[in-house]
Structure 1
Amino acid sequence: MHLGIKPFIFFFLSFFIAFSLQSQVPGFYMKKEKRKVNLPFIDSNSLIIMPISINGGPEVNFLFDTGVKSNIFFSKTLADELDMQYTRKLNLVGADGKTVLSASVSPNNHFDLGPIEGIFQAILVLDEDFLELEKVIGIPVFGVIGHEFFKNNPVKIDYDNGIISFYKRSALKWRPLGFRKTEIEILGNKPYIQATIRQSNGPNLNSKLLIDTGANHGLLLNMETSDEIVLPEVTLESDLGRSLGGDLFGFVGRVKRVGINGLKFRNVITSYPEENEFSDVIIDTGRNGSIGSDVLNRMKIIMDYPRKRMLFKKGARFSNEFKYDMSGLMVRVYSAETKRFYISQVREGSPAHQQGVQEFDEIISINKIPAPFWKLSDITDLLRSNEGKVISLELLRRDPADENVSTLHKITFLLEKQL
């Protein structure tokens, strides 16, 4: 299982964009004054994806991500078609600290979400789609909406029903019945909370954590931020997520408990990324890690930036076990349109590896069901479902010396719990 489809984006740049302001400042607003409006979202591995029309163009999917401060667009070709105007070019440093990526700044765009509109929206347009989120999410995603959507209004995220409620700024003065409250700190346009962590193999931690709706891990701890963060005895080496500079690697284990103002999550799957070129920036924020959607989706949450608080209560999935991949496979999709899946990684020593599954094998069928009938999220759920479950794969393997030559392989293995 690919733990972190979240694009770990670190932009080491400062730029100021001058807007020709008219009656309003840049932000997201209701078209008609109401107490709240509801927006249905696509839930893909508990990531929040919604279609948006930009500058009157066709709707395209965006990931809504509290962990990113800037709006980002992945397709320069489509951005040109949507009549985005650019004021400057920027060079960005990838998450590996070496890769230099180029982007264009488009300062003045209109976003349409039906009852909500975003005005005077700046977008950072990547010259190349380095993230390729469609391959790891399983549906087309053209960009990321960050701080702008959340900054002025309370926003309720209901993962159980796939609904975002966008409230009038003056609404929710009082805490709704049944909701707990914790303070949030907005730093660098990102929200942080305090949480307690009981480690499996170390002292209890009082930690500052980023609330990151764009990451599908449960908990992530950056070991370089504290000598008290200790790896669990049982861990797996893993690819932890996509980034602008490539994949990020580290370890995956469990902590015994994560507590947020008395609400406790037990045996949480936790990522421990390797120290990298940007560790100093993480340390400077004072944070120890982040909470992703595999914890957030077990609650109903209200991000209330104007009042610097997060309101939350248990959701329908609160008591669900935190599960990790039991096959050793990372599956990706060539494109959502073709519904063709392939094996991007095989963990050494895993059940799939022992039975001969190889990287770049194309999946023809799973448990006798043809690949086009599957969604990537359903494959992910299957491969972390139940220990002892039989998985039968029909795989097409191309000859690396001649792509026109391929062989068909039928492989069966049992899922095995490794964390």
Structure 2
Amino acid sequence: MKKLLYLIMMFVLFCHYGFAQRGFVVENKRQSSKVNFKLVNNLIIVPVEINGVELSFLLDTGVSKPIIFNFLNISDTLNLKNSETIYLRGLGEGESVKAIKSKNNIIKIGDALKLNQDIYEIFDSNLNFAPRLGFPVHGIIGFDVFRDLVVEINYSSKYIRLTNPEKYRYKKCRKCEVFNLEFYNNKPYINAQVSVKQKIIPVKLLIDSGGSDSLWLFEDDSLGIVIEHPYFEDFLGYGLGGSVHGKRSTIDALILQSFVLKNSNVAYPDDSSISTAKNVKERNGTLAGNILKRFNVIVDYQKGIVTFKKNSFFKEKFSYNKSGIELAHNGVRLVREKDTKLDAKSYSAQSDNELNNNTSIVLDVRYKLTLKPAYAIVELRENSPAFNAGLMIGDIVLSINGKDASQYTLQQIIHQFYEATGKQIRLEVERNGMILKFDFTLQSPITKKT
């Protein structure tokens, strides 16, 4: 009897251990789960449940550890258990970032479930994507999902499909291109080609769905990856290591086997910002969201391949922000707007002492005060149209071309700064309590040499 009890206990412990240690598994009969996402600024934002709490995460092939931005004060809600302090290093000019490693968390994406997930909490307030994107983003997840599942990313229809690898079946696709993946530090790389100054150069690129740019290249004289005019200096983004600066330009083409993307945008980050990235042998740059979104992609880490099929975004022209303005949410402001649910009513009140004076109090309830997001200028490129017009960092945008800014989402306003060269932009802004008006014309920051 004791022996039988011992065997039962060992069986239970073995099953529990095996189940607890597995990775992501889709828990339904189809062994496949479709999850809709938001595509914002070329980034994939997916709903993720952590310990039963639904959050929004950036799906990032370029990150090897799940990260939560703890400045949003969600640790207590998630019941995270802190175990040790570590330091994470990434792109940027600063030092490593302090993080708290939390163990034994449960993560769910659609019907895909993982137990005993390690999560890293970061307290750096600069790693807050919410103001720039227009809604909360609580963290980043990548490698753990891609390692365990076949991930289809349908950029055109804005969904991902997660499938257990043993269940996934590839369909014949004559219009697809398949690339072999190489892995360094749990991150995927592919081999491609770029045409620079009419010279075809083979390059190894990190696939980074967590970057909103098109293409980053690391300057290398020996390979011919050298930037020349026209280009402009710009803030490229913010990584774990701090700010990333560099130069922006265009190249003749990016070549992904039979797919050729002409006049692609390209950024050349400063060496000081990419010292960690250059540690990867033979890496020449990054393939990011503004390229990836032009394809529907199947990522299969277990087979070591990625499949590209061009979609409706493929022919979308590459463009830069022609205003020089970068906006972000900056609190709220009171907006007077019409209440469509109510009719105009007038109320008269008279007292015995005022009957002969015909005094009346008129209350117009057609309007109400509503809190709306405030959009502030947080980056302003020097010598840009907006800069030369006199706009300044910190200005709150009240209206654009005569329409109240509160009627737009953040992304809708930013989209107007990418429109055709020559378009007139009229902005009304608040600066230190004063209302100011500015006019400027959109101009491409890439100008040909004269």
TM norm structure 2: 0.82
Q: Report deviation, 1:329.
A: 1.2
Pick from 243, 256, 262: which aligns with 1:260?
256
Q: 1:114 to 1:154 in 2, by over 3 A?
A: closer
1:313 counterpart residue number: 309
Deviations 1:151-207 (A, max 9, x none): 1221111111111011231244545423221111122111100011001x3732100
1:68 counterpart residue number: 63
Query: Does the CA-based 8 Å contact 1:95-1:244 persist in structure 2?
Result: yes
Q: 1:415 to 1:156 in 2, by over 3 A?
A: same
Pick from 431, 434, 439: which aligns with 1:397?
431
| 1:290 and 2:286 aligned | yes
Q: Superposition pairs for residues 8-407 of structure 1, below 5 Å?
A: 21-57=17-53, 59-75=54-70, 77-93=73-89, 95-96=91-92, 98-177=94-173, 178-199=175-196, 201=197, 203-223=199-219, 227-276=223-272, 278-279=274-275, 281-334=277-330, 338-398=372-432, 406-407=433-434
Query: Does the CA-based 8 Å contact 2:34-2:160 persist in structure 1?
Result: yes
Q: Which amino acid aligns with 2:444?
A: K
Query: Does the CA-based 8 Å contact 2:203-2:283 persist in structure 1?
Result: yes
Q: 1:93 to 1:185 in 2, by over 3 A?
A: closer
Pick from 424, 436, 439: which aligns with 1:409?
436
SS at match of 1:130: coil
CA distance in 2, matches of 1:280, 1:245: 10
Q: Report deviation, 1:277.
A: 6.1
Q: Report deviation, 1:101.
A: 3.0
Query: Does the CA-based 8 Å contact 1:185-1:193 persist in structure 2?
Result: yes
Q: Which segment is superposed worse, 223-232 or 284-293? A: 223-232
Aligned CA RMSD, in angstroms, stands at: 2.1
Gaps of 5+ in 2: 1-15, 333-370
CA distance in 1, matches of 2:222, 2:64: 25
CA distance in 2, matches of 1:148, 1:359: 39
CA distance in 2, matches of 1:264, 1:249: 27
Q: Which amino acid aligns with 1:194?
A: N
CA distance in 2, matches of 1:334, 1:21: 47
Q: Report deviation, 1:31.
A: 1.5
Q: Which segment is superposed worse, 202-211 or 36-45? A: 202-211
Gaps of 5+ in 1: 1-19, 399-405
Query: Does the CA-based 8 Å contact 1:256-1:266 persist in structure 2?
Result: yes
CA distance in 2, matches of 1:209, 1:373: 40
Q: Which has the larger radius of gyration?
A: 2
Q: Which segment is superposed worse, 251-260 or 170-179? A: 170-179
CA distance in 1, matches of 2:114, 2:399: 43
Query: Does the CA-based 8 Å contact 2:48-2:108 persist in structure 1?
Result: yes
Q: 1:146 to 1:226 in 2, by over 3 A?
A: farther
Q: Report deviation, 1:412.
A: 1.4
Query: Does the CA-based 8 Å contact 1:26-1:121 persist in structure 2?
Result: no
Query: Does the CA-based 8 Å contact 1:193-1:210 persist in structure 2?
Result: yes
Deviations 1:63-98 (A, max 9, x none): 000000000000163123211111101234564454
TM norm structure 1: 0.88
Q: 1:100 to 1:166 in 2, by over 3 A?
A: closer
Q: Report deviation, 1:390.
A: 1.5
Greater relative contact order (Cα < 8 A, sep 6+): 1
CA distance in 1, matches of 2:315, 2:411: 20
Q: 1:147 to 1:170 in 2, by over 3 A?
A: same
Q: 1:54 to 1:321 in 2, by over 3 A?
A: same
SS at match of 2:19: coil
CA distance in 1, matches of 2:290, 2:119: 28
CA distance in 2, matches of 1:216, 1:268: 14
Identity in percent: 28
Q: 1:50 to 1:281 in 2, by over 3 A?
A: closer
Q: Report deviation, 1:244.
A: 2.8
Q: 1:211 to 1:94 in 2, by over 3 A?
A: closer
Q: 1:204 to 1:156 in 2, by over 3 A?
A: same
Aligned length: 391
Deviations 1:30-53 (A, max 9, x none): 111315221000111121101222
Q: Which amino acid aligns with 1:180?
A: E
Query: Does the CA-based 8 Å contact 2:96-2:240 persist in structure 1?
Result: no
Q: 1:277 to 1:311 in 2, by over 3 A?
A: closer
